[in-house]
C-alpha cells in the first residue's frame, strides 16, 4: 500500500515561491503505475486540484494555476515536488499530495496534508 | 474550469437516508462515468468512498452508494450513523484531462 507524506515550510512570504515535497513509500514514483497529484484546501473551504506529474515528467496543471506551477520528480529519493511561484495570501491552504492509479480516475492514496500560510 | 455544485449542508437523523447532489456540465460529470466521492473528517485527509460513479472501494460500507443522471451525480448514505458526520466532496475527471472538485457538503447527523 502506498503511503505519502508532505514536507516543507509552513510559512512563505508574499511574492515568494512555495515549495513542497511528497515522499512516497510502498511504491515507486518511477513505476509508471500512478499519476502523482497535488491538491489544496484553503482553511474552511473546499478542495482544489492543482495538477499531476507522471513518472517520465509528463505534467498537467489546473488552468487557473498553470502559469505559476511547476512539478517535478526525484526518482533517487522517491519523491515528487510542487513549486508555486508568486504566492499571495489566497494561496494559504493545506496542501495534499495524492495518487491516481493508471487507468483510474479517483485519488486513492493521500498524504496527511501540510498547512502553508502566506504572510509577511 | 468551474467547481462542481453541491449543497452546502444536509442533515438527517440516525437510521435515515440522505442524498447529496453534485451538478456539473457535459465537460465533466456528464462527459464520463468518472465521478468519485470523498469523506473528510475535521483535520483529516479525504478518503475515497465511491469511484467511477457507483463503485465502492474495499472496506467502504455498503450503506454508501452512488449514481448519475446526465450532468448530476448523487451520493446516498443509508442507515445514517453518527460516524458519517463529515464533509463530503464530489470530484470528476474532465474532457480536458484535468480534475474538478465540488464545493463540499457538510453532513450533520442530528
What are A33-76's pLDDT values in tens digits?
899 999 999 999 999 999 999 977 899 999 999 999 999 999 99
Say what the pLDDT of residue B34 is. 97
Chain centre to alpha carbon of residue B90: 4
Say what the pLDDT of residue B1 is. 76
Q: Do A106 and B52 touch (CB under 8 A)?
A: yes
Gap between the Cα atoms of A114 and A103, Å rounded: 28
Q: Is the dihedral of CA B8, B75, B46, B108 positive or negative?
A: positive
- Rounded to a whole number, what is the distance in Å from the CA of A75 to chain B's nearest CA? 24
Mutation target for A interface from B38, B42, B99: give the one with most A CBs within 10 A. B99
Hey, what's the cell of A22?
A: 511528497
What are A14-26's pLDDT values in tens digits?
999 999 999 999 9
Judged by DSSP in three states, B1 sits in coil
Hey, what's the cell of A87?
A: 504566492
Contacts of A49 in chain B (CB under 8 A): 91, 98-101
Q: Is the dihedral of CA A8, A10, A13, A15 positive or negative?
A: positive
Q: B48 at the A interface (CB within 8 A)? A: yes
Q: Do B38 and A46 touch (CB under 8 A)?
A: no
Name which of A80, A98, A81, A83 is nearest A28 in CA terms. A80
Q: Look up residue A15 and give its DSSP letter.
A: T
Judged by DSSP in three states, B72 sits in strand
Q: Do A104 and B96 touch (CB under 8 A)?
A: no
Q: Do B45 and A106 touch (CB under 8 A)?
A: no
Per-residue pLDDT tens, chain B, 110 aa: give them.
789 999 999 999 999 999 999 999 999 999 999 999 999 999 999 999 999 999 999 999 999 999 999 999 999 999 999 999 999 999 999 999 999 999 999 999 99
Residue A28 has pLDDT above 80, yes or no: yes
Q: Do A107 and B100 touch (CB under 8 A)?
A: no
Amino acid at each position: 500500500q502506498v503511503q505519502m507524506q508532505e514536507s516543507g515550510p509552513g510559512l512563505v512570504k508574499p511574492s515568494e515561491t512555495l515549495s513542497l515535497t511528497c515522499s512516497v513509500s510502498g511504491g515507486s514514483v518511477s513505476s509508471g503505475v500512478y499519476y502523482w497529484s497535488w491538491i489544496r484546501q484553503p482553511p474552511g473551504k473546499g478542495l482544489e486540484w492543482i495538477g499531476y506529474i507522471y513518472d517520465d515528467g509528463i505534467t498537467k496543471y489546473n488552468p487557473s494555476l498553470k502559469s505559476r506551477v511547476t512539478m517535478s520528480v526525484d526518482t533517487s529519493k522517491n519523491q515528487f515536488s510542487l513549486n508555486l511561484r508568486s504566492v499571495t495570501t489566497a494561496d494559504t491552504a493545506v496542501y495534499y499530495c495524492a495518487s491516481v492509479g493508471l487507468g483510474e480516475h479517483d485519488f486513492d492514496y493521500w498524504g496527511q496534508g501540510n498547512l502553508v500560510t502566506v504572510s509577511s | 474550469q468551474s467547481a462542481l455544485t453541491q449543497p452546502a449542508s444536509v442533515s438527517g437523523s440516525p437510521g435515515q437516508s440522505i442524498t447529496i447532489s453534485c451538478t456539473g456540465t457535459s465537460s465533466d460529470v456528464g462527459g464520463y462515468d468518472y465521478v468519485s466521492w470523498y469523506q473528510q473528517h475535521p483535520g483529516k485527509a479525504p478518503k475515497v468512498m465511491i469511484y467511477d460513479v457507483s463503485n465502492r472501494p474495499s472496506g467502504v460500507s455498503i450503506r454508501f452508494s452512488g449514481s448519475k443522471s446526465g450532468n448530476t451525480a448523487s451520493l446516498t448514505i443509508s442507515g445514517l450513523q453518527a460516524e458519517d458526520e463529515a464533509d463530503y466532496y464530489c470530484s470528476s475527471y474532465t474532457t480536458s484531462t484535468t480534475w474538478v472538485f465540488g464545493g463540499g457538503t457538510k453532513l450533520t447527523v442530528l
